[in-house]
Structure 1
Amino acid sequence: MMKFAYGTLIAVALPFVLGISNGDEPTWTEKYGSQYDLLFSGPLSFSHLPYSKCLEQKESLFDIAILGIPFDTAVTYRPGARFGPQAIRSGSRRQFDFTGYTISWGLSPYDQGIKILDCGDVPVSPSDNALALDQIEVAYSTLLKRPIQAENTRYTEVTKVLAKDGIGHPRIVSLGGDHTIVLPILRSLNKIYGPISVIHFDAHLDTWPPISDYGGTITEQSRVTHGTFFYLAQEEGLISNSSIHAGIRCKLTGLADLQNDREVGFQLITADDIDDHGANEIVRKIRERVGETPVYVSLDIDVIDPGLAPGTGTPEPGGWTTRELKRIIRGLAGLNFVGADVVEVAPAYDNGDITGVAAADLVHDLLSLFVAEGSRPQRSGEQKPLVKDEL
């Protein structure tokens, strides 16, 4: 009798111990509905977007790809930007595609009839820079060849008009990685668009010619660093003579650096120019410089003052605020963008994730920049109404 009672007890209790429904309990979906991620849960993709290993999964199609490039072995000071893609994605956890509307832009990049997909990271070599740069170029070119999804929109028509083959190509927002990743990116873009203009937000010029700083010898591989890649891009004919820096404040060897910079093809806006001329004049100068050419935006997080974005490899005091940079980016809407990046995020030097959060917000701005129709730049001294009457 005791044996029977004990067995009966096990038979009755076991389903509860193992979490097996006895038919009366509702399942999760029956009781709570579809599963959703919280701000702080779920797989680590940018803004909780759909994630795919696009390089391997040929069926993964998109209009804009988020692509991580965890490369940092060509830096000249502090390493650590290989963890930048992870930090930017982590900084985006409070963002969702269904909460993408901002008052500043007046739109959500996710509600424009285009498909935005997180395509994961390029698996770059951490020990062979020449191999890593080739891997980046092949990966970027692979994604550029994918057919776009959106039809009959200004977004798709721009790339068709600009591309040498007359075919619409997707745009890619790259998450660096150190700034060297732009060289193989420009090589990929050149195959589609020819030489392009670069809007370069940075504290540093990155146009220096290769020099024998370390060991007194220059090798083919040592020529490529995060401070020489634009010089090499000009050597290869990848950029047009209509590029521009914004936010520069680094120390130089002298006027020879500025002369070399002009020869590489850049005009210069310094960090101090925002005090002397204001954001609107900076926007006007950038737009005037690049005109109707194909445009690539390269954003080094150190353009922001290190007090607001300390997580970077080569910090320079006296930078722009995050708000000032965001205002300038909004003023560029309507240009012929073919790609963009946010680079040099090195979370080991961050504090409270503020750099990763700022970088993620700037990626959202770049997505908005790609889809915004553009408008007349605000004239100097012109005031916006404090209350949006259209609401």
Structure 2
Amino acid sequence: MNLLLLSALLASTVMVVHGHDDHDHDMQMPLDYVKYPYQAAYYPGDNDVTANAIFSGITTFAKLPWVQCLGKDKTDLFDIAFIGAPFDTGTSYRPGARFGPAGIRAGSRRLTLYGGYNVPLAVNPFLSGLKVVDCGDIPVTPYDNKFAIKQIEDGHKELLHRSTFSPLGNDSLTGKPLVPISADGKNHPRVITLGGDHTVVLPLLRSIYSAYGQISVIHFDSHLDTWKPQVFGGAPSEQAAINHGTYFYWASQEGLIRNGSSIASIVFLAFLTPRRFFTSPAGENW
């Protein structure tokens, strides 16, 4: 009897499984259910979010399209660009941040898995309607700091002074046309720089000044980076005086930042401008 009962139970289970498979899954889903709500913005395929969307292909930031903005694609327009500044010969203790851009890009691959969707803000910045690209790296020499710093400034300035792909648009609250806040009255694209030891901040501030004039800076780091060259490094030469601990001193001397700037000693750095620029304690700029 036990054997017959077990057989009957197994048979009924099989019937239930087969009966379940006969139904259309889509017909049983809630009306507001979306199978893949946060699609990867730049991954072509069958609209399925799969693992190969992360590890396949070249490594750009968040799997964004690679545009050679400083090379053959120098006439291409964009709204937001990621650019690398692989420089670390201005540091006094721990070099290696020249590999920062590559490391940041590798770490950003998983942003594509759900398209970079921000749950608290309920927004996907990659699907904002703006053209976002990865411009690769600025060519930076590891042999000549003076020339390398000029390369970073020129490369950033080249991108910053390009026309935008999209018009500025209207204010989301008032509906009125937005007005550029730049000193030259133009709508500049946003440039996000991946570094690089902290010395790269000086050439970037010089570039930003060319479009916006003086800007306010909030700086969070494990040290102030406002050393006078005579104290930090001893300044044996004009070029040695510019390093990862003195760049804010020079930015102040050159009039690049406002007096209202705030220097704190915590974790990272952010400019209060349309660009977002972050610095980690490890010397990698985001």
User: Which TM-score band (shorter chain)?
Assistant: 0.7 to 0.9
Amino acid at match of 1:145: H
- Change over 3 Å in CA distance of 1:225–1:185 after alignment to 2: same
TM-score norm. by structure 1 comes to: 0.55
Structure-1 separation of matches of 2:232 and 2:226 = 15
Residue deviations 1:167-222 (CA, integer Å, cap 9, x gap): 100111110100110101111111111110112121110111102655x5531101
Corresponding position of 1:179 = 198
**Alpha-carbon contact 2:65-2:133 (below 8 Å) kept:** yes
Structure 1 position 87, deviation (Å): 0.4
> Does the aligned pair in 2 maintain the 1:177–1:345 contact within 8 Å?
no
Residues 1:193 and 2:182 are matched in the alignment: no
Q: After TM superposition, give the deviation of residue 336 of structure 1 in Å.
A: 5.7
**What CA deviation, in whole Å up to 9, does each residue of 1:336-381 have, x standing for no partner?**
623232345769xxxxxxxx9xx8xxx5xxxxxxxxxxxxxxxxxx
1:4 — aligned with what?
none
Which stretches in structure 1 are left out of the alignment for 5+ residues? 1-31, 250-270, 272-296, 300-334, 348-355, 364-391
State the distance in 2 between where 1:227 and 1:40 align.
37
Q: Which residue of structure 2 aligns with residue 79 of structure 1? A: 95
Contact 2:131 2:166 in 1 (8 A): yes
Name the structure 2 match of 1:229. Answer: 247
Q: Unpaired runs of 5+ in structure 2?
A: 1-44
CA distance in structure 1 between the aligned counterparts of 2:101 and 2:273, rounded to whole angstroms: 22
Decide whether the 8 Å contact of 1:173 with 1:341 is kept in 2. Answer: yes
Corresponding residue for 2:120?
Answer: 104
Residue-by-residue CA offset, 1:207-266 (whole Å, 9 max, x unaligned): 11102655x5531101101110000000000000111234x16xxxxxxxxxxxxxxxxx
Give the Cα–Cα distance (whole angstroms) in 1 for the partners of residues 255 and 144 of structure 2: 25
Looking at CA atoms only, which structure, 1 or 2, has the larger radius of gyration? 2
Judge conservation of contact 1:79–1:346 (CA < 8 Å) in 2. no
Structure 2 matches for 1:269-280, cutoff 5 A? none
Question: What is the rounded CA distance, in whole Å, between the counterparts of 1:345 and 1:207 in structure 2?
Answer: 15
**RMSD value, Cα:** 2.8
Amino-acid identity (%)? 44
**Which one-letter code corresponds to 1:223 in the other structure?**
A
TM-score (norm 2): 0.74
Q: C-alpha separation between the residues in 1 aligned to 2:190 and 2:154?
A: 15
Cα distance in structure 2, aligned partners of 1:161 and 1:148: 12
Structure 2 residue 78 is the aligned partner of structure 1 residue 142: no
Q: CA deviation at 1:58?
A: 1.8
- Aligned position for 1:340: 276
In structure 2, relative to structure 1, the CA distance for the partners of 1:217 and 1:134 (3 Å cut) is closer
* Alpha-carbon spacing, 1:118–1:345, altered in 2? closer, same or farther (3 Å): farther
2:77 matched residue in structure 1: 61
Report which stretch shifted further, 106-115 or 175-184: 106-115
Counterpart of 2:70, as a letter, is L
